[in-house]
Amino acid sequence: MVRQALWCGVAIVICWALDRLLQAAVYGQWFGWLTDYTYRAFILVPLLFITLAVSLNLINGITGQFSLGHAGFFAVGAYLSAGFSVYFASGWLAQVPPAWQGAAQFGLLLMAALIGAGAAALFGLIVGIPTLRLRGDYLAIATLGFGEIVRVLFENLDVFGAQRGFTGIPTWVGFGFFWYALLAMGCIAVSRNLLKSTHGLAFLSVREDETAAEAMGVSTTYYKVAAFVIGAMFAGMAGALLAHREGSIYPVDFKLDISIIVVTMVVLGGQGSITGSVLAGAGLKMLEELLRLLPVVTLFGREFQPSDFRMLAFALVLILTMIFRPQGLLGHRELSWATLRRWLSRSPKRASVPPAETVWTAEAELPPPTSISSEGEQMKQP
């Protein structure tokens, strides 16, 4: 326990220090290119998506459950934490003497984040349990469905602002780096701890072969649900942070697009690879932001903003990755210092990362279809 506290302390201090540094750099305009806008676009948002990608990786990559509804967990965390803050916490805060305001905000933000995380985790439970029996395509659609139901729900509930969006959320996160970075680090640390332990092997065994895993004493139910819950929890916390930094959230922020973007990140990075998710998550988001900076292009007499091509680019990345490098950049492997040293010391021979095995064995099937005609006619030789 002491060791954990120590590590947390170190992380907190580092994040706090970097936060201060960045604030000074941004507001003191140390670098021309580091403005509030670029800080948000190239540091904050990528950090957020790192958390989203790594948390999804636990579900998709490590446990092999294909979830297309991550935006749903993100939304639940955002909306419910915001609801708490707007309807309860703000009222409480007003009653706190000015001297204690800072500490109170800190505490309330923590509460809001925990509520968001808890609500999302609960939702992860709700999604995880019914989907236990589903494989592959069906699981994808079911999770997609859940994600959409969540969004539609928030879109129609007036208490959460419905389509107008939920505004007036207290921006206790402030500058943001401290919280976003801490969350990302926490998410990565937990994922890594899980993966490295024998419990991690249990998750992997569920991915590799569920029947064999059960036969070896691994409760596939437990681990599948656990993956969903943990993944959802982090996504929910990310949502809470987003809400409390931006001050307002809109249903459109949690569209299916977001789920697909995060899936693309996990896939590109390599399903099962935490470093892969980090790199792809940060990388893709930064590239996306770079697109926005490109000038307007004129084609066939029409003006095109390159940023309009963002989603198109994501789709292309997804398709091309699947066709040409389905294991993603890092496959199942992590990029560790050891691997890096090995790569650098090696002669210019191609780094022999063994091709990742198929994520699904042939046994993970949908119920086989019935024949096309309902009577199941035998084929007659022409």
Partner 1 sequence: MELSTLAQQLVNGVQSGAIYALIAVGYTMVYGILRMINFAHGEVYMVGALVAWLGTSRDWYGVVSHSSTGGLVLLIATAMLVCMTLGVLIERLAYRPLRHAPRLIVLITAIGVSFLLQNLALILFGADPKTVPLTWRTVQLGGISISLGQLVLLIASLSFMAGLQLLVKRTQFGRAMRAVSEDFQTAALMGVPYDRVIVGTFAIGAALAGAGGAMTAIFVGAPVTPTFGFMPGVKAFVSAVLGGIGNIPGAVLGGLLLGVIEALVGGNPTLSPFRDAVAFCLLIAVLLFRPAGLLGRAVQEKV
Partner 2 sequence: MKTPLLQLQQVTMRFGGLIAVRSLSLEVYSGELVGLIGPNGAGKTTVFNVITGIYRPTEGDIRFQGRSLVGLKPHQITRLGIARTFQNIRLFRGLTVLENVRIGAFVRHRTRLWQAALRFKAVEKEDSELEARARHWLKVLELSEVADVRASALPYGLQRRVEIARALATQPQLILLDEPAAGMNPNESEELMHLIRRLRDEFGVTILLIEHDMRVVMGICERVLVLDYGELIAEGPPEAIRNDPRVIEAYLGEPV
Contact positions vs partner 1 (CB under 8 A) = 66, 68, 130, 133-134, 136-138, 140-142, 144-146, 148-149, 152, 156, 211, 256, 260, 263-264, 267, 304, 308-309, 311-312, 314-316, 318-319, 322-323, 326, 358-360, 363-374, 377, 379-380, 382
CB atoms within 10 A of CB 186: 16
The answer to whether the CB of 197 falls within 8 A of the CB of 31 is no
Query: Which residues within the stretch 1-30 sit at the binding site for partner 2 (CB under 8 A)?
Result: 1, 3-4
Q: In the numeric block, which tokens belong to residue 155?
A: 């879109």
- Placement of tokens 């995880």 in the chain: 128
- Residues contacting 305, CB < 8 A, separation 6+: 296, 297
Select from 111, 153, 361, 364 the one that contacts partner 2 (CB under 8 A): 361
Whole-number Cα distances in Å, 300 to 129, 291, 297, 303: 51, 20, 10, 8
Q: Does 332 bind partner 2 (CB under 8 A)?
A: yes
| Residue 365 binding result from partner 1, partner 2, none, given CB thresholds of 5 to 8 Å by partner type | partner 1
Select from 110, 212, 297, 315 the one that contacts partner 2 (CB under 8 A): 212
The answer to whether the CB of 235 falls within 8 A of the CB of 56 is yes
Dihedral sign for Cα 30, 36, 38, 43, please.
Answer: positive
| Residue 208 binding result from partner 1, partner 2, none, given CB thresholds of 5 to 8 Å by partner type | partner 2
Residues paired with residue 303 on neighbouring β-strands, in sequence order: 298
Q: Does 204 bind partner 2 (CB under 8 A)?
A: yes
Query: Which residues within the stretch 222-241 sit at the binding site for partner 2 (CB under 8 A)?
Result: 226, 230
User: Shortest Cβ distance from residue 164 to partner 1 (Å)?
Assistant: 16
Stretch that binds partner 2, among 38-46, 110-118, 130-138, 190-198 (CB under 8 A): 190-198
Of 315, 180, 319, the C-alpha closest to 257 is 315
**Residue 149: left if φ>0, alpha if ψ -120 to 50, beta else—which one?**
alpha
Which of 173, 266 has the CB closer to partner 2?
266
Where along the sequence are the contacts to partner 2 (CB under 8 A)? 1, 3-4, 189-190, 193-194, 197-202, 204-205, 207-209, 211-221, 226, 230, 332, 354, 356-359, 361
